């Protein structure tokens, strides 16, 4: 299908992009990689009057690590994220996004703004307790991962705002596991696990309207070594903590069982005892 008609504005800087969005009177959309937006337009699920192209805005594709935190611009492509070594968990998760053609155009900021609960990077942001920087008519603000995602395909980024940067704390140890029907599909269940000091944070994608941060009580706290029994208990707690719905990809019980298995795999990676699993292409 063809996209509905729209006007096109190529932004020269962040202020110009925000001004164009504000002038569109809540009818504008940011165009970056377009890997989420264009299919939505083609299906007529959105009809913005203006697309604001931010691909020429300088300074939005930077990647650097400062004080244990990856500071990434919103225009960092998935392919660049997958190829960097500054944040290994983000690199591994990015490798599972779609296919090479999609990763070469899709952006970090676009994935987070789209807020698909089955996507890989929102789960990583929650597992790492990250944040995004948002620019709008009232200036810039910082939005933490726990507040960013408010529902399926809904974020706290306003209609006249845009994500400009992302903070991702680098974990001491990490693990990631995903199950999808076919290579390149969105995850039926994806799990990102990150250890910071003596605490493990586990985020599950695909089981709720937002990436779900597992509440496992005292099991979140670990010692120097994580035993196989502790891994199994934490994985079981993750399965108990989710409340998935049934859909055409599987019933709630199926997703709960997948949550336990994917958590086992992610935590095995985190503990240094990885299990053989299918690798993304």
pLDDT in tens, the chain (281 residues): 688 899 999 999 999 999 999 999 999 999 999 999 999 899 888 999 999 999 999 999 999 999 999 999 999 999 999 999 999 999 999 999 999 999 999 999 999 999 999 999 999 999 999 999 999 999 999 999 999 999 999 999 999 999 999 999 999 999 999 999 988 888 999 999 999 999 999 999 999 999 999 999 999 999 888 999 999 999 999 999 999 999 988 899 999 999 999 999 999 999 997 766 556 65
Instruction: Give the start-to-end residue ranges of the domains of the chain.
Output: 7-53, 63-168, 175-270
> In terms of Cα–Cα distance, which of 107, 97, 134, 93 is closest to 34?
107
Taking the C-alpha atoms of residue 210 and residue 208, their distance in angstroms, rounded to an integer, is: 5
Domain 7-53, CATH 3.30.1280.10 — does that match? no
For the beta carbon of residue 46, count every other beta carbon within 10 angstroms: 14
Give the bridge partners for 194, in sequence order. Answer: 174, 201
CATH for 175-270 is: 3.30.390.50
- Name the pTM for this structure: 0.95
Those residues with Cβ within 8 angstroms of residue 45's Cβ, 6 or more apart along the chain or in another chain: none
DSSP output for 87-127: -HHHHHHHHTSS-HHHHHH-BHHHHHHHT-TT-HHHHHHHH
Write out the H or E segment, with its range, that includes residue 278: none
CATH for 63-168 is: 3.30.465.10
Same fold, 7-53 and 63-168: no
The first and second tokens of residue 264, run together, are: 């086992």
């Amino acid at each position: 299908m063809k996209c509905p008609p729209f006007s096109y504005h190529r932004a020269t800087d962040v202020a110009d992009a925000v001004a164009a969005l504000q002038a569109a009177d809540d009818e504008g959309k940011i165009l970056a990689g377009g890997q989420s937006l264009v299919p939505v337009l083609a299906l007529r699920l959105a009809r913005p009057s203006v697309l604001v192209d931010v691909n020429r805005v300088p300074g939005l594709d930077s990647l650097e690590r400062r004080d244990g935190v990856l500071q990434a611009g919103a225009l960092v492509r998935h392919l660049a994220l997958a190829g960097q070594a500054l944040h290994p968990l983000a690199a591994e998760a990015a490798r599972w996004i779609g296919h090479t053609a999609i990763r070469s155009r899709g952006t970090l900021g676009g994935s987070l703004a789209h807020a698909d609960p089955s996507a890989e990077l929102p789960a990583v942001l929650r597992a790492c307790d990250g944040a995004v920087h948002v620019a709008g008519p009232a200036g810039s603000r910082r939005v933490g991962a726990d507040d960013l995602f408010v529902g399926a395909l809904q974020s706290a980024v306003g209609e006249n705002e845009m994500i400009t940067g992302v903070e991702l704390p680098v974990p001491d140890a990490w693990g990631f596991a995903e199950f999808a029907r076919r290579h390149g599909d969105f995850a039926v269940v994806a799990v990102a696990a990150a250890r910071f000091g003596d605490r493990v944070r586990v985020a599950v994608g695909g089981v709720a309207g937002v990436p779900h941060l597992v509440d496992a009580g005292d099991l979140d706290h670990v010692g120097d070594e994580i035993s196989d029994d502790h891994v199994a208990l934490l994985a079981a707690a993750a399965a108990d903590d989710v409340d998935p719905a049934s859909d055409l990809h599987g019933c709630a019980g199926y997703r709960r069982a997948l949550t336990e298995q994917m958590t086992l795999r992610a935590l095995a990676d985190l503990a240094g005892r990885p299990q053989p699993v299918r690798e993304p292409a």
